[in-house]
Structure 1
Amino acid sequence: MLLSLLGGCASAGSWVELGGQRYRVEIADDDAERARGLMFRDELATGTGMIFLHDREEPQAYWMKNTKIPLDILYFDNARKLVAQQRDVPPCTAGNACPSYPSNAPARYVLELNAGEAAKLKLQNGAELKFSNDIPKLP
């Protein structure tokens, strides 16, 4: 019974699809949500992530301040094509001394997944990110 309930959760709510895999996502679409991101979480459930929507396409840089779980940070342009990847980014407890992980290319969307997902999907730059209909398509 529990397995069937969990299986149903993966298709509920907002999702993105990448490399043929669908992930249930939380949406960070304002400054406060983007700043908080996945801070202070002890885990990120399998098959889930967070999508960050930015106001414009420009070089982005993320850091792991107060983030307790290793992540893959994936950067996508206006066309939702993968332009940069920061894989297996470790947690950081050094506060403002935590390093940043730049996109090195203009990006509009950033997807954070559990570390190892990009390798599992064998992601290459140019991979397309698909959205559920409830995720805003930005101009």
Structure 2
Amino acid sequence: MKWLAALCLLAMPVQAMAACRADQVEFRNTGGVTRFSVEVADDAAERAQGLMYREHMAAASGMLFVYERPQPASFWMRNTFIPLDMIFMDETGTVRHVHANARPKDDTPIHGGDSVLAVLEINGGLARRLGIAEGSVMRSSHLDQAKAAWTCE
């Protein structure tokens, strides 16, 4: 009987499983739904460290930067050794800008917009392959659910 319960859990649609765990985010777009396991950087020290000095990151992983309120956001790649896609979102979780394949160790500022609440960094080139683009929507427990375009269940 345990195997039947496990099979039922595996068969559940992605939207119903772990919809809003603190260590996961989901993106919805015309291609469907994609889930990432995330580390969360939600204070100044964690945001300053980011993904510096790492030499690899699992394909379905990322780092979610969350600010206290929407604000202008710029990133750079100092001491970051892997190419990254940076997905900039507003307070609703709607993607407003995607910067693809940021160059490792580059100090050039990457501006994501003036009203950024969250940024997800994932492996370079992955956003395009998964269809994550402007207008895609992220679901996360780190968003104010009263403002979120795609709420937690």
Q: Into which bin does the TM-score normalised by the smaller protein fall? A: 0.7 to 0.9
Question: What does residue 130 of structure 1 align with?
Answer: 139
Greater C-alpha radius of gyration: 2
| Residue 81 (structure 2) pairs with residue 72 (structure 1) | no
1:80 is paired with a residue of what secondary structure?
coil
Q: CA deviation at 1:53?
A: 0.6
Q: Within 5 Å, which residues of 2 pair with 1:112-131?
A: 112-131=121-140
Q: Are the equivalent residues in 2 in contact too, given 1:52–1:109 (CA < 8 A)?
A: yes
TM-score (norm 2): 0.74
| Residue 58 (structure 2) pairs with residue 45 (structure 1) | yes
State the distance in 2 between where 1:56 and 1:15 align: 20
State the distance in 2 between where 1:46 and 1:112 align: 11
Percent identity between the two aligned chains = 33
Q: How many residues align?
A: 123
Moved more, 116-125 or 23-32: 116-125
Task: Decide whether aligned partners of structure 1 residues 126 and 45 sit closer, same or farther in structure 2, where only a CA change above 3 A counts.
Answer: same
Q: CA deviation at 1:13?
A: 6.3
- Which of 37, 40, 65 aligns to 1:24? It is 37
- Which of 104, 109, 112 aligns to 2:113? It is 104
Q: Within 5 Å, which residues of 2 pair with 1:4-15?
A: 14-15=23-24
1:52 maps to a residue whose letter is: F
State the distance in 2 between where 1:33 and 1:13 align: 16
State the distance in 1 between where 2:126 and 2:143 align: 24
Q: Deviations over 1:29-71 (max 9, x none)?
A: 0000000000000101110000001121122101101000000
Q: Are the equivalent residues in 2 in contact too, given 1:83–1:105 (CA < 8 A)?
A: no
Q: Are the equivalent residues in 2 in contact too, given 1:57–1:108 (CA < 8 A)?
A: yes
Q: Within 5 Å, which residues of 2 pair with 1:75-94?
A: 75-92=88-105
Runs (5+) with no aligned partner, structure 1: 1-10
1:126 maps to a residue whose letter is: G
Runs (5+) with no aligned partner, structure 2: 1-17, 148-153
